[in-house]
Structure 1
């Protein structure tokens, strides 16, 4: 379960299957704060360069 900070909340929509960077909370390991969401071209570039296996 992730929380989108207020400054990004209105500009960012997250759907199942999206690739994101999340920072886990220190007090609750099951929750995190979403830092960044990758677009489809960015994910394809990361796959080609070998940074992620999707």
Structure 2
């Protein structure tokens, strides 16, 4: 079975809910990180409690963020992609930053 035949299920951002791709630029501690979003804004994002212990996020990871409606320079992280998922996104042309 070749690499192209492998089935990879990848969650994409729901644009109706305001979700965006982002790249983790720096870790700030206490569940907060800096994320450069695909719209060009660098946001202070927080890792929700349900993700904090289960999913480890490092600098350079691709994530999905939801900007806050009342404070545009803040966001919540809702998803982190694994390396095979990132490769698939790049191959399909979803990542453009």
TM-score, L = length of structure 2: 0.51
**CA displacement at 1:15 relative to structure 2:** 1.6
Structure 2 unaligned spans of 5+: 1-43
Aligned mate of 2:74, from 31, 34, 47: 31
Runs of 4+ in 1 over 4 A off after TM superposition: none
Aligned to 1:2: 45
* TM-score normalised to structure 1 length: 0.84
Higher share of residues assigned strand = 2
1:53, distance to aligned residue in structure 2 (A): 3.4
Q: RMSD of the TM alignment (CA)? A: 1.3
Aligned pairs, how many? 54
Counterpart of 1:13?
A: 56
The structure with more radius of gyration: 2
- The 5-angstrom pairing of residues 39-54 of structure 1 reads 39-53=82-96
Unaligned runs of 5+ in 1: none
1:10-31 C-alpha deviation (Å, 9 max, x unpaired): 1122222110000001121111
The structure richer in helix per residue is 1
